[in-house]
Amino acid sequence: MLDIEPNLSTSLFSHIDFTSGAVAAVSGGSDSTALLLLLKHHLDRTAPATKLLAVTIDHGLRPGSAAEAQAVAKLCATYAISHRILAWSGPKPSTGLPAAAREARYRLLAEAAQAEGIGLILTGHTADDQAETVLMRHARDGGREFVEMAGRGLAGMAPATLYDWRGWIVRPLLGMRRTGLRDVLRRQNVGWADDPTNADEAFERPRMRAALAEGNGARRIDDALALAAHEGRARSQLGLTAASLIGDFATQPAGGLIRLDPGLLSAGDAQAAVYALRILLATTGGIAFLPDQARSEALFGRLKAGFLCATLSRTVVDSRRAGIFLRREARSLPAAVTATGDTLWDGRRRITLNDSSSGLLIAPFGTTAKRLAMGEGKTPPSLMRAALAAEPALWQAGECRGLPGHGGVSAMVEVRPVVAPFARFLPSFDLAPARAVADLIGAAPVPPLPFSGHSAG
pLDDT digit string (tens) for 50-90?
Answer: 999 999 999 888 888 899 999 999 999 999 999 999 999 88
- Express each pLDDT in 299-358 by its tens digit: 999 999 999 999 999 999 999 999 999 999 999 999 988 877 788 999 999 988 876 656
In the chain, domain spans = 6-232
Confidence of residue 457 (pLDDT cuts 50, 70, 90): very low
Residue 415 has pLDDT above 90, yes or no: no
**More confident: 7 or 452:** 7
Distance, CA of 211 to chain centre: 29
Highest-confidence segment of 1-15, 103-117, 372-386: 103-117
Report the alpha-carbon distance of residue 174 to residue 194 in Å, rounded.
20
One-letter amino acid identity for 246?
I
Residue 420, CB half-sphere, CA atoms under 13 Å: how many? 25
Residue 8 has pLDDT above 70, yes or no: yes
Confidence of residue 208 (pLDDT cuts 50, 70, 90): confident
Confidence of residue 44 (pLDDT cuts 50, 70, 90): very high
Range of weakest confidence among 219-233, 320-334, 393-407, 441-455: 393-407
Report the alpha-carbon distance of residue 313 to residue 315 in Å, rounded.
5
From residue 395, give the alpha-carbon distance in Å to each of 328, 358, 361, 367, 403: 20, 11, 5, 13, 9
- Express each pLDDT in 243-255 by its tens digit: 999 999 999 999 8
pTM for the model stands at 0.91
Range of weakest confidence among 44-53, 267-276, 378-387, 393-402: 393-402
Q: Are 273 and 265 in contact (CB under 8 A)?
A: yes
In the sheet that 167-170 helps form, which strands lie side by side, from edge to edge?
Answer: 82-87, 52-58, 22-25, 120-122, 167-170, 160-163, 425-427
Kind of pairing between the strands at 22-25 and 120-122? parallel
Report the alpha-carbon distance of residue 187 to residue 376 in Å, rounded.
74
Predicted confidence at residue 318, as pLDDT, reads 97
Percent of the chain with pLDDT over 90: 68
Q: Are 113 and 23 in contact (CB under 8 A)?
A: yes
- Express each pLDDT in 134-188 by its tens digit: 998 888 765 444 433 346 789 999 999 999 999 999 999 999 999 999 999 999 9
Predicted confidence at residue 146, as pLDDT, reads 40
Q: Which of 308, 357, 90, 130 is nearest to 232 (CA)?
A: 130
CATH of domain 6-232: 3.40.50.620
Predicted confidence at residue 408, as pLDDT, reads 55
Helix (H, G, I), strand (E, B) or coil at 265: helix
Predicted confidence at residue 141, as pLDDT, reads 64
Average of pLDDT values for 355-377?
A: 74
Q: Is the dihedral of CA 224, 225, 226, 227 positive or negative?
A: positive
DSSP state of 86: E
Report the alpha-carbon distance of residue 356 to residue 396 in Å, rounded.
13
Predicted confidence at residue 358, as pLDDT, reads 61
DSSP state of 357: -
Range of weakest confidence among 63-67, 128-132, 421-425: 63-67
Q: Which of 65, 103, 38 is nearest to 194 (CA)?
A: 65
The three-point CA angle 379-336-392 to 5° equals 25
Residue 455 has pLDDT above 70, yes or no: no
Q: What is the mean pLDDT of the chain?
A: 89
Average of pLDDT values for 226-254?
A: 96
Report the alpha-carbon distance of residue 383 to residue 386 in Å, rounded.
5
Range of weakest confidence among 155-159, 398-402, 422-426: 398-402
Predicted confidence at residue 400, as pLDDT, reads 81
Report the alpha-carbon distance of residue 135 to residue 430 in Å, rounded.
21
Confidence of residue 454 (pLDDT cuts 50, 70, 90): very low
Q: Are 135 and 224 in contact (CB under 8 A)?
A: yes
Report the alpha-carbon distance of residue 381 to residue 402 in Å, rounded.
18
Confidence of residue 214 (pLDDT cuts 50, 70, 90): confident
Q: At what angle do helices 217-249 and 431-441 cross, to 10 degrees?
A: 30
Query: In degrees to the nearest 10, what's the CA dihedral of 123, 214, 205, 153?
Result: 80
* 446 backbone dihedrals φ, ψ, rounded to 5°: -70, 125
Q: Are 333 and 367 in contact (CB under 8 A)?
A: no
The three-point CA angle 394-396-399 to 5° equals 90
Average of pLDDT values for 248-275?
A: 96
Residue 11 has pLDDT above 70, yes or no: yes
